[in-house]
Structure 1
């Protein structure tokens, strides 16, 4: 853990693995999800609008290589020596036949200066045959498989239409880690019905899993989503945190996390034209600095109350 920051940060994690600066480039490879196409359900997760995290160059009519080259051009102006991780981000990036997935991953790795892959997916979309391939891939390049966990409470998972249980998450994370692959997780803090007590329990449950990295995001209400409609009908079901409230929640949460978990980020930034609430007007680095300052003020740190 970085004693100055009082938590394990993602840039430190990357610096320990690469002798140069590394930047993720988001990709939209044209996948869908099993709870969108009818395999598990329809409509997707109630909070989801993938437009919220797709940069302008992420368009499905462009090949993986083209998206990566355009992403590289964007970053190389400022950091000409930068290397890149191809981040298969939009929707479920293991939800296709094995040969198609291999072609896409290998295409990304053929792009100059791409030094690894980050693959975002769901816990119910990781067959053993794909893990066999990813295990061999992991031996020759950097690989991080990032699972959308969102919640550890099955009632919440059902309410937000995830289409899987927390037991499914545990199984996928453990099977992936057993192959020697770095495993990431993504959770949303502030989902309906989940207050501080429930989230402290969540942190403790996640700490029992062999996760390498974890992303925390605040609940955001996005235009056009089912959750935005639910909020309009019954706002009392939701607690939308102020920035200061959420900072306190984040610190309470990470105090109960395993000390060696790498924390990639604390918030999400949706485009303002899509965001209904909460709108804090803070960039990611500004919010992170506020968390660091408050950690020092509270004399707190990641794992302060973690119980082995």
Structure 2
């Protein structure tokens, strides 16, 4: 896969803008933490298209300057290198804080657990402090990981989770759970308008495939195009629900933009389950690869199923994903190979 990240196509951006046609961010000043990451860079680009002033904050722990280099000369775009787990003040009024900063790949959990904990606890507290000071709304990107090894499928927002605080994934899922608790504490004590997005697996252009950052889809594509073995953890029968990036960004910004949702947590994901084995076979088919499958031991506490209940997103956001996995993979490959 191409290691550079060209600007997203006008077609992809237009698809998101169409899904936000009734939402206005014009003349808003918006702080995006993790703004040069996979999702953050897409969010920055869309918000600029919607007429917002955007402050992109990133320490490049897992984000990359390449993701936002094409935006740096935009008159309404400011890019700042900073770790949100340390205090920060934008020094000007902001209307919305979108807190996306965090390492998120399971391959990073045993290498950077302290940084992951800090970005989702101290970083969330700092983001909330900014929102409170400037009377801004805050969007917190939480995760399906807060459900742990779920026992209900599709999994609704009311499910409280089944997690292991001592396990390898605890640095991420418990930090996100704490982040949600911070959000609700600021909402209850200070009346802050907070919205919590529980994101399920997302994929698309700009998602890293390299090293500890590699997520399953870009890693499989990278292996397939080089005819390398496709590395599957366990027997591959575990499932995930994959949401294409344009659908994900539309859902996130609808959650931020629709009025009357203070204090709400909403699943943003695709409810169609795929086994990891079927995902690998589909990627081999689409790339015409000669890759063989290679099986590795299952990591500790790796969830066996992921499937969101998105009834709340449909009812409150007027949102549901549109891109099927096969089509999304083709679009991702066209941009990145």
Shorter-chain TM-score above 0.5: no
What is the TM-score with the length of structure 1 in the denominator?
A: 0.39
What is the TM-score with the length of structure 2 in the denominator?
A: 0.36
